[in-house]
Amino acid sequence: CAGAEACARGRAQIGEHEGRMIGKQVQACNRNNITIHIITVIYNRRICEIRSLPQFQAMIGRHPEITLIIADNSTEESILEQNREVASQRSWLRYIECGGNIGLSRAYNRAIATIPQDARYWVMFADDDTWFSLEYLENAHRYLCGIHGSGAYNAHGDAACGASGDAGGDAHGHRAGDAAGRRRIPLQMMCGVVETESGWISPRSEHAKELAFSMFLRRPKPGIYRDLYPINSGFFLAGSALREVGGFDERLFLDQVDFLMMDRLRAHGIRKIGVLPGEIRQSFSGDLRKLISGEQGQS
């Protein structure tokens, strides 16, 4: 597993100026009691194999308001034993053993239930096969501290996404305007552009959500949009939005969990989403999906 050296490597990448900026962000988050919870669901996979574990550990080392929550849907006892041992040695992660493969929606809800609901928090969903750059994670953290701290960061400043103005992109995912002087409204959703070996896969437009992965809009640039459909991995959602929609629909075991959540958010008037800069790469695990779906049918 990634050890303390991962944190050291992460810190070494911070320059003096960035270090001062991070210090201000921590103060802003702490002053406003902001917490950020990264949720990863694993299935018959070791914690050490989570692709972005070193980045998560580095972020937690920099920002004490971040927590990693691992919901373990594993069914193989040997893997569970190893994961219990690894989790017991790492105070910076919260480990939830789900008692079998309960599906993605229930695992998400179980992880969310461990977060104090009276807190001002955000959740980031992270697939175990996705690599997140520190740039993306820091941009998200910077924005979250900005909207609850000393003002929002705009789309052209500090390499982070801006707070939304009254104008937004349309259902085709066209970029929202950020005209000077508009009233700025904190977002409740953020995501990044997710790449695979075949190209970018997320976010999609409303009209492309049911199409094959090759059918997308033009690649979105950082900014504010309306009615995009991101996949779960790399998706940030405010706790206030989760409370409003009542969490994930547990009737869905695996597929379409992310798209149904976006439909529910839209039904509650939560439609604007910030697209942040920073590299995200996913190894699309079609075989894993088949395995999980197969086990669902046997249960």
pLDDT of res. 185: 55
Question: What is the full per-residue pLDDT of the chain (299 aa) written as tens digits?
Answer: 544 454 444 444 444 444 454 455 555 565 667 899 999 999 999 999 999 999 999 999 999 999 999 999 999 999 999 999 999 999 899 999 999 999 999 999 999 999 987 778 999 999 999 999 999 999 999 988 875 543 333 333 333 333 333 334 443 444 444 433 344 557 899 999 988 887 777 887 765 444 444 444 567 788 888 888 888 889 999 999 999 998 887 776 666 677 788 889 999 999 999 999 999 998 865 434 433 344 443 33
Q: What is the C-alpha to C-alpha distance for residues 188 and 194, in angstroms, rounded to an integer?
A: 19
Q: What is the pLDDT of residue 176?
A: 46
**Distance separating alpha carbons of residues 296 and 149, to the nearest angstrom:** 44
pLDDT at res. 134 = 96
CA–CA distance from 209 to each of 21, 206, 216, 256 (Å)? Answer: 38, 6, 8, 10
Residue 282 falls within a domain, yes or no? Answer: yes
- Pairing label, strands 228-229, 204-205: antiparallel
Distance CA 45, CA 71 (A): 11
214, 264 contact by CB (below 8 A):
no
Residue 255 is assigned to a structural domain of this protein: yes
> Is residue 153 one of the residues assigned to a domain?
yes
Structure confidence at residue 33 (pLDDT): 75
Task: Quote the pLDDT of residue 77.
Answer: 96
172 lies in some domain: yes
Residue 2 contacts residue 131 (beta carbons within 8 Å): no
In a domain, 10, yes or no: no
> Is 79 a domain residue?
yes
Q: Which DSSP string corresponds to 171-231?
A: TT-PPPP--TTPPPB--SEEEEEEEETTEEEESEEGGGTTS-TT---SPPPSEEEESEE--
- What is the span of the domain harbouring residue 126? 29-298
pLDDT at 186: 73
Q: Are 132 and 55 in contact (CB under 8 A)?
A: yes
d(CA 193, CA 220): 7
Dihedral sign for Cα atoms in the order 229, 235, 237, 243:
positive
What sign has the CA pseudo-torsion 100, 104, 110, 112? positive
Residue 187 belongs to a domain: yes
* Dist. CA 265–CA 242, nearest whole Å: 9
User: What integer pLDDT is reported at residue 68 of this predicted model?
Assistant: 97
User: Are the beta carbons of 292 and 254 closer than 8 angstroms?
Assistant: yes
Number of domains the chain contains: 1
Q: Domain for residue 17, yes or no?
A: no
Residue 298 φ/ψ, nearest 5 degrees = -90, -15
Answer positive or negative: Cα dihedral of 18, 2, 194, 209: negative
Cα–Cα separations (whole angstroms), residue 45 to 71, 259, 289 = 11, 25, 13
Distances (CA, A) of 157 to 162, 202, 277: 8, 24, 12
pTM listed for this prediction: 0.75
**Residue 257 belongs to a domain with what CATH number?**
3.90.550.10
